[in-house]
Structure 1
Amino acid sequence: MFQDLLPLALWVADAEGRVVRWSLAARDLLGHTPEQMVGQDANRVLVPEESREPADRLTRKVRSGAAVVARLPVRHRDGTLVELEMWHCPVADARGRTGVLTMAAETASVGRLRAAPAALEGLKGLEVLEGLFAQSPTGLALLGSDLRFLRVNEALARMDGVPVAEHVGRRVREVVPGGGALESVMREVLDRGEAVVDRRHTAAGSAGPGQQRTWSCSYAPLLGDGGRRVGVIASLIDVTEGQRAHREAEQARRRLALLAEAGTQMGSTLDLTQTAQEVVRVLVPRLADSADVQLLEEAVAPDETAASAHGVVRRTAAAFTDPAAPADGLAVGMTFQVPPGSVYEQVIGAGRPMKLYLTDIGPLIPAPGADRLRDYLRARVGSARLVPLVARGTVLGAVVVTRTRDREPFDDQDALLIDELVARAALNIDNARMYGRERDAALTLQRSLMNPSLPTVSGLELTGRYLPAGDHEVGGDWFDAVALSGDRIALVIGDVMGHGIHAAAVMGQLRTAVRTLARRDTPPDQVLRFLDAAVADLGDNEMATCLYAVHDPLTGRCLISRAGHPPPVVADERGAVAFLDGPAGPPLGVGGQDCEIQQVFLPPHSLLAAYTDGLIETRGTDLDEGMRRLAQALRHPGHPLEQVCDELLAQVMPEVADDDVAVLLARALPR
């Protein structure tokens, strides 16, 4: 056949002009192999210097959307020039930008062209290359102004699953599924005279039903005499595999991003309920349409009540994006018994996730009056998964995730991602659970060791406060007052380094030691020396600060010693404020304690305020600013003492406390 005698070269350049495809026919015609050409600047390698300017103009015209036929000399690999008849068409490159598809044949080899169809007579500059349609691997079609096929190649016929002859004379919508939308695009190309590049079209492929394929379609107007638009040239490239790979890569990127985000969002606190809510926020709506976190009561309840809560789960957090979901059956805090023999019991028992089917959904909602919820789940849920919360070998509960019928079901990758997120959530929930138990134990221990009630004594009015750092931190701050002989009273406030049960236990030991030393009438500096030795005996890493004072109501004299503790402040009845001068001394446990005894007088109605450093020190806040606020808060010492204490905490305490706080106030009474 004649077309076999007319080699047709094909190459594709991206938007930057670099070759991304080089056919074997191009190698035979111009001598350059695909390995030599891919990645090269096409114009720099192929176009001689004297033809560079018209070649650049041609390239710009194609990238603006026009299909161009031209005759240009092209450089062979051996340096000789080859005159080529070329057809250039805009196509999309890998990044969606406009590149150039070039098909070419040697001018000397072009003999007599096949007579063009009557409908195409007079096309401006048209020299249709013999063999163009037959040899191109790209789907190509010529359509007249009525958008009926005039000519198609075998590549396009294979894409459509319709023989070449059955295309000619028919409209696109009569041949291609969804062709009406394609016709609208081509009509726009004809009306505006502007090319459309890389319009994606997805439909059933010729391989059979259910085999969806995606094509990148580009259209350019065909110009006749006087620039009249007489038809459309269409090129189609099957991008199904590339599209699928891109989609899978994008899904993998989103999954990795979700895992990274989950690492920062989940477990941001050690609050059990908030941690469960964070799990829900990570899953919904990006990965699921609903997420329901249900914790076993026996796993999170106190030990003394766990036995009575066997098999009971509590909804701790939930989110349902579907507005049709019945809110009354999905309330957070609801409890129900795991149905014996149900899928739920199997998952809890085995600790392995499971895909749920419609028949599994009903038994998961055993509560009386939940028929409306069961009906909703059966009607709306298209895919569901039940994943146990397992941490350190213990099943803490389960998470139920669903997608509605409007969304694609969970695939295997979705299931793996959900299981991984729930596994991470289980560790965070278990951390919160264990921390909550430790905090409760520390708080119980602290309350048992530190009696918050202060004695009624002559000469002083007393009040104090202890505030943990937020709802989840219990430390070793404490205060106390001990009645001594001669109506004197010992005042003490201290701060053990660290938090939790250990800090509370050390605090209890120091409080007991102080009371013992005080009742022996030990001077303040000696009390701190004994405490320093006691803390050192507890270990190298133990440390505490302490202030110890003895007040004599008969003289108004107050003797004070400090070990690394912040200075107390005295406010007289007029509101004049002064901090105690002098060195604080090293903290307890450091050794070499050489505390000084400082003396201050407390006239009637004056106020002594002692505190731990958590009151005035926070990250990012200047210490002087904290002391200034404290002094300002004591400008009205004549207010009721409880009110003074509350106002002090309200004005001085930071919004977000980094440490626990103890405050001890003593006001001198008239003699």
Structure 2
Amino acid sequence: MAVVQRADSDGGQPAEGRPVVGHPGVFRDLLPMAVWGVGHDGCVWQWGLAAQDLLGWGPDQVIGHDGLPILVPECNRELAKELAARCWAGETVVGSYPVRHRDGHTVEMEMWMAPVTDPAGQPGLLVIAAETSAVRRMRDSLAALEGLFAQSPIGLALLDRELRYVRVNDALADMNGRPAAAHVGKRLREVVPGIDPGAVEALMRQVLHSGRAVLDVRTGRTDANPGCDRVWSSSYAPLTDSDGEALGVIASVIDITEGQADHLRAERARQRFALLAEAGERIGTTLDLRQAADGLAQVLVPQLADTAEVLLLEGVLAPDDAGASAHDLLHRLATAGPTPTAPAQQAPEATHRIPPGSVYAAVLGQRRPQTVPLPLPVLRSVPPDPGEGLFAHSAPGTARVVPLNARGKVLGLVITTRTRGEPFDEEDTVLIDELVARAALNIDNARLYASRHQAALTLQRSLIKPLPAVPGLELASGYLPASSENEVGGDWLDVLTLPDGRTGLIIGDVMGHGIRAAAVMGQLRIMARTLAAQNVPPARLMHHLDAAVTDLGESELATCVYAVYDRASADCLITRAGHPPPVLADPHRTVRFLEGTCGAPLGSPRDAPFQTEHVPLPPGSILVLYTDGLIESHDHDLDHGLNQLAHALRRPSRTLREIRDHLIADLLPEPSHDDVAVLLARPR
């Protein structure tokens, strides 16, 4: 039995003569080995269990078979043959090439091949092979560790489980004022007693037990400079083997005495950069005006201020409202921190009058921020509130009043206060001003977006008129603008009374969103009404609309469907331009989609004129025209939406308004990301 030397727990001389079965970490983890034998005919005659464990081949799959095609990749077979021939000739050889594992991958191995006699008495060879990838990685790691210890300006140390030094680099030896060799085998209290070694060792034991690294900042003295306190930043990390068993602790030490102030300033700068990044996430990713204002207030408090108020000029919020055009009114959009208002709590949003000659008026007029002592002048609420106005009971401290300037225009004010700790210093005011300047652009973007969204919605609604009364035809329509997070689109519908007594039903969708889409929609609607008044046939009317969209530019596209109902013949003529197919439900609730000839969208290149489909429309049947917002969704495909539409139309007969309401409820359970227009017609 092997005799293993093992050091005692006190770090004294090794104990002799204790038989110990050690952990087989080297051969198992670092240098797994395999043995097999090959006869003179190339067949494997011996295959050890270690070879099976390492390469996956069982003895029955290898023994008695030519080992060359089984184990050696084709590109290495000539080398393998050469080495085997030399070995059969009586030479012991060493080689290195990959061996094929049973699952197909290759294992890099180094081999020692010795000549032996095979079971038949013929010259054979014995292969002792080792898988070397772990050893190579360990070699590279050791080289890196050697370079790190030799060249790193950071103090480094390895300590064993008993927290005795195993190795230190020159940088740490210089910090401690002792040669590196004088550390080995000693505890901290023997080398650096002036740094509270008990507390440091307690941290390192915590690392050993938890397996997690810890950081520490410590002040003390060493032999390098025994008359002066130094400050060190240290980290302690566990050193483990491949099974996760703790072998010791690796410590890194940085002397931060001289650079501590710089370090603190750098940390403060890092925190402020993080604050700017947070502001970008809170404010720069929304087009909701109040959400942007609230995000700014929440970023300022408590990182930089105790309270923050975001106030916009009333004239900026409602530029078209003559009653709100006064320049001396501020509307509070957001607040953060302990409210600086009177005990009679005001609403989160309130309007205040700016006192003439106050700091607020000066900042707005000069467009330059100011830092002033508290208390601030009172901002009286409008209409008058029984309680005190804003800032009526502010505690002593300082305030920073910053204008919200964007695109050459002053939008309002941001007022921050600090009543605890130190007053605002120069770095504080620079950062507050930077945050406000960045937020001003986002707030202005949100304001402009809200204004454009409302203008487009107003324009679109103004163009969608109530349906006319048509003898012999029951009508119902619905229009839903996109959800508030999306710009309004260019959907429209109309019912046209033609000169010959027929009725035109038209619905369309201009590609895109916003005021431009709504304006293009208005042009197409007016042109369609004008052409219909001249009794222009459906295909010809669609041709004129196509020419109008083409004239607007290559970027403009629209879809449209136009149906002309003739009460006398009880039928419809339908022409489509890239639009979803109309749906026809007969009196027996048989539903079919009118998939007749469909031309390309308006404004796109075309090779053929628009075609017209003739569709019977007897009394009691329902014709449904709609835009794609009714059937398309991010949650399902187009076919699913069409199936839902058909299913909804198969329900028992009701009024068209009830059918319309059920269509919208069934197909749009949540707010749509696109505008939705639907038009239903049923002959009486």
**Equivalences, count:** 509
Q: 2:477 aligns with which of 458, 461, 464?
A: 464
Residue 249 of structure 1 corresponds to which residue in structure 2? 266
Alignment of 1:340 onto 2:340: no
- Rounded Cα–Cα distance in structure 2 between residues aligned with 1:366 and 1:347: 18
Deviations 1:78-127 (A, max 9, x none): xxxxxxxxxx999998xxxx9994603999xxxxxxxxxxxxxxxxx999
- Rounded Cα–Cα distance in structure 1 between residues aligned with 2:594 and 2:282: 45
- Rounded Cα–Cα distance in structure 2 between residues aligned with 1:642 and 1:67: 87
Q: Which moved more, 1:559-568 or 1:534-543?
A: 534-543
- Rounded Cα–Cα distance in structure 2 between residues aligned with 1:510 and 1:488: 21
- Is contact 1:604-1:668 (8 Å) kept? yes
Residue 279 of structure 2 corresponds to which residue in structure 1? 262
Residue 291 of structure 1 corresponds to which residue in structure 2? 308
- Is contact 2:163-2:187 (8 Å) kept? no
- Is contact 1:267-1:428 (8 Å) kept? yes
- Rounded Cα–Cα distance in structure 1 between residues aligned with 2:542 and 2:513: 22
Residue 592 of structure 2 corresponds to which residue in structure 1? 578
- Is contact 1:67-1:90 (8 Å) kept? no
- How far residue 415 of structure 1 moved from its aligned partner, in angstroms, is 2.7
- Is contact 2:311-2:330 (8 Å) kept? yes
- How far residue 580 of structure 1 moved from its aligned partner, in angstroms, is 0.9
- Is contact 1:605-1:638 (8 Å) kept? no
Alignment of 1:562 onto 2:576: yes
Change (3 A) 1:18 1:389: farther
Q: 2:151 aligns with which of 15, 35, 38?
A: 38
Tell me which amino acid in the other structure corresponds to 1:400: I
- Rounded Cα–Cα distance in structure 1 between residues aligned with 2:545 and 2:186: 103
- Is contact 1:464-1:663 (8 Å) kept? yes
Where do 1:212-611 residues align within 5 Å?
239-305=256-322, 308-320=325-337, 322=338, 328-329=344-345, 331-358=347-374, 361-367=375-381, 371=388, 374=391, 376-378=393-395, 382-405=397-420, 409-451=423-465, 453-471=466-484, 473-485=487-499, 487-592=501-606, 594-611=609-626
- Rounded Cα–Cα distance in structure 2 between residues aligned with 1:480 and 1:350: 53
- Is contact 2:154-2:254 (8 Å) kept? no
Change (3 A) 1:413 1:659: same
- Rounded Cα–Cα distance in structure 2 between residues aligned with 1:259 and 1:620: 35
Tell me which amino acid in the other structure corresponds to 2:408: G
The secondary structure found in structure 2 opposite 1:578 is strand
- Rounded Cα–Cα distance in structure 1 between residues aligned with 2:627 and 2:541: 19
Tell me which amino acid in the other structure corresponds to 2:532: A
Change (3 A) 1:126 1:308: closer
Change (3 A) 1:666 1:64: farther
Residue 104 of structure 1 corresponds to which residue in structure 2? 179
- Rounded Cα–Cα distance in structure 2 between residues aligned with 1:214 and 1:631: 77
- Rounded Cα–Cα distance in structure 2 between residues aligned with 1:455 and 1:127: 97
Q: Which moved more, 1:647-656 or 1:395-404?
A: 647-656
Change (3 A) 1:327 1:201: farther
The secondary structure found in structure 1 opposite 2:410 is strand
Deviations 1:47-81 (A, max 9, x none): xxxxxxxxxxxx6547854579xxxxxxxxxxxxx
- Is contact 1:383-1:403 (8 Å) kept? yes
Change (3 A) 1:90 1:655: farther
- How far residue 560 of structure 1 moved from its aligned partner, in angstroms, is 0.5
- Is contact 1:297-1:306 (8 Å) kept? no
- How far residue 240 of structure 1 moved from its aligned partner, in angstroms, is 4.2
- Is contact 1:291-1:399 (8 Å) kept? yes
Tell me which amino acid in the other structure corresponds to 2:292: T
Alignment of 1:662 onto 2:677: yes
- How far residue 306 of structure 1 moved from its aligned partner, in angstroms, is 6.0
Change (3 A) 1:536 1:411: same
- Is contact 1:496-1:507 (8 Å) kept? yes
- Rounded Cα–Cα distance in structure 1 between residues aligned with 2:429 and 2:171: 35
The secondary structure found in structure 2 opposite 1:303 is coil
- Is contact 2:586-2:620 (8 Å) kept? yes
The secondary structure found in structure 1 opposite 2:348 is coil
Tell me which amino acid in the other structure corresponds to 1:548: Y
TM-score of the aligned structures, taking structure 2 as reference length: 0.64
Name the % identity. 48
- Rounded Cα–Cα distance in structure 2 between residues aligned with 1:594 and 1:409: 76
Change (3 A) 1:249 1:485: same
- Is contact 1:484-1:519 (8 Å) kept? yes
- Rounded Cα–Cα distance in structure 2 between residues aligned with 1:324 and 1:306: 28
The secondary structure found in structure 2 opposite 1:426 is helix
Where do 1:621-660 residues align within 5 Å?
621-636=636-651, 638-653=653-668, 655-660=670-675
Where do 1:167-186 residues align within 5 Å?
none
- Rounded Cα–Cα distance in structure 1 between residues aligned with 2:651 and 2:593: 16
- How far residue 479 of structure 1 moved from its aligned partner, in angstroms, is 0.4
- Rounded Cα–Cα distance in structure 2 between residues aligned with 1:372 and 1:201: 51
The secondary structure found in structure 1 opposite 2:470 is coil
- Rounded Cα–Cα distance in structure 1 between residues aligned with 2:530 and 2:436: 53
Tell me which amino acid in the other structure corresponds to 1:569: V
Residue 165 of structure 1 corresponds to which residue in structure 2? none
- Is contact 2:559-2:577 (8 Å) kept? yes
Tell me which amino acid in the other structure corresponds to 1:476: G
Where do 1:83-94 residues align within 5 Å?
none
- How far residue 316 of structure 1 moved from its aligned partner, in angstroms, is 0.6
The secondary structure found in structure 2 opposite 1:492 is strand
The secondary structure found in structure 2 opposite 1:493 is strand
Tell me which amino acid in the other structure corresponds to 2:471: S
Change (3 A) 1:646 1:290: farther
Change (3 A) 1:282 1:610: farther
Deviations 1:585-639 (A, max 9, x none): 1111225451111122223322111111222224464111222222222232622
Tell me which amino acid in the other structure corresponds to 1:552: D
Deviations 1:277-323 (A, max 9, x none): 23233333444443211000012213342664221001111122x48
- Rounded Cα–Cα distance in structure 2 between residues aligned with 1:126 and 1:570: 93
The secondary structure found in structure 2 opposite 1:378 is coil
Alignment of 1:616 onto 2:631: yes
- Rounded Cα–Cα distance in structure 2 between residues aligned with 1:240 and 1:40: 15
Tell me which amino acid in the other structure corresponds to 1:38: Q
Change (3 A) 1:485 1:90: same
Tell me which amino acid in the other structure corresponds to 1:424: R
Tell me which amino acid in the other structure corresponds to 1:347: V
Deviations 1:327-386 (A, max 9, x none): 74453221111111111111111112222322xx3304445665597475315xx55322
Tell me which amino acid in the other structure corresponds to 1:639: R
The secondary structure found in structure 1 opposite 2:394 is helix
- Is contact 2:504-2:563 (8 Å) kept? yes
Change (3 A) 1:20 1:248: farther
Tell me which amino acid in the other structure corresponds to 1:427: L
- Is contact 2:580-2:628 (8 Å) kept? yes
Change (3 A) 1:484 1:67: closer
Q: Which moved more, 1:482-491 or 1:384-393?
A: 482-491
